[in-house]
Amino acid sequence: NEDSLISGSILFFKEAAVYRMNRKHRGHCVIVNNHNFTSLTARLGTHKDAESLKCVFQWLGFTVRVYNNVKKVDLEKALQEYKSHPDHVDRDCFVCCILTHGNLGAVYSSDEALIPIREIMSQFTAQQCPGLAHKPKLFFIQACQGDEIQPSVSIEADALNPEKLPSAPRQVSLQDSIPVEADFLLGLATVPGYVSFRHPEKGSWYIQSLCNHLKDLVPRLEF
């Protein structure tokens, strides 16, 4: 009857508005963990962040792989590998976490190449990566987005040491850092133009808070 048809339509729209997240294997989680650089300061505490992310996403059913001290060529190779990974068809989601130094709209590889965030994310659009079409693609970036400092306690920052900056780094606008295609979530540790902070032993405020909230708020169903 008409009432059941309306009820069925409402249920359909409710279900259509939610991503499917009930496969046994949720998807792949890639963690780029840059500690050492050619001339920039070492990022003490980053291994704590990488380990926390690994534990949480494994608990959530993801297959996690950590890449340490990634040069530009190796990052490009890893992105190409996951861009064409056959597993995406049978997975629900893709997660990429990047822990490194950064600047406005971009992140640094361990050999200090400045890579636009948009360039990284654009590898996983529906056109470039059909297996992830209409599936959530989550990017969490722990990196500075400038060198301005907000009031804070005395700790290390993921800022660039002005005395050790590579010559004339290319500036990337924030507008160029976010793809327009749907199904992407970009989480940045700081606002444009500012540094992000990291404890040399306990890890960064952003990543540790993210992991704690995932553990507390995300239901984990056993299969």
Catalytic residues: 101, 144
Q: Give the amino acid at 133.
A: A
- Give 194's strand partners: 148
Q: Give the amino acid at 188.
A: L
CB-CB contact of 92 with 20 (8 Å)? yes
- Burial-class residue 10 by CB neighbours within 10 Å (0-12, 13-18, 19+): exposed
- Give 204's strand partners: 198
Please, which residues have CB within 8 angstroms of residue 67's CB and are 6 or more apart in sequence?
30, 31, 32, 33, 74, 75, 78
Identify the DSSP state of 92: S
